[in-house]
Amino acid sequence: MATYSDELVGRALHAHDSRPVGLITAVYRYPVDLDAPWGAVAVSAGWLRGSHLVDLERAAPVGGVLTVPHDRLTITSSPRFFALSGGTLSARDAARVRAHYWGANRPA
């Protein structure tokens, strides 16, 4: 189970099919009670305003690219956040991100 750091900022993020999605602009941790040390990243996908948060469970860093097990449409339809502050997501925001990527029935 990998944990990620701010060193990812500026790297490319690719969907599961190796299609580029955008650049990582920030790295966030989940609240400790979620027991999800991998966290999430904010991704700027070109002309879109704001950032999409992408859950990093089962992400694979290869060279300068981070590939996630999600398709581009799932990523670009994920919850959007503007000007997040701090390095840890709120419990509410974390639950929204986890539910978007893994379904509401998956334990957070």
* Residue pair 94/34 in contact by the 8 Å Cβ criterion: yes
Provide the pLDDT for residue 83: 54
Provide the pLDDT for residue 1: 45
Provide the pLDDT for residue 105: 47
State both tokens at 27: 């790295």
C-alpha 91/C-alpha 62 separation (Å) is 30
C-alpha 61/C-alpha 1 separation (Å) is 12
- Give, in order, the Cα–Cα distances in Å from 12 to each of 25, 61, 91: 10, 10, 27
Provide the pLDDT for residue 69: 95
Q: Give a yes or no: residue 107 inside a domain.
A: no
Q: What is the total count of domains within the chain?
A: 1
Average pLDDT, the chain: 84
Tell me which residue range forms the domain holding 46.
6-101
Q: Give a yes or no: residue 59 inside a domain.
A: yes
Residue 87 pLDDT > 70 = yes
The two beta strands, 12-14 and 40-44, are unpaired
Question: What tens digit of pLDDT does each residue of 5-49 get?
Answer: 778 899 999 999 999 999 998 899 999 888 888 899 999 876 655
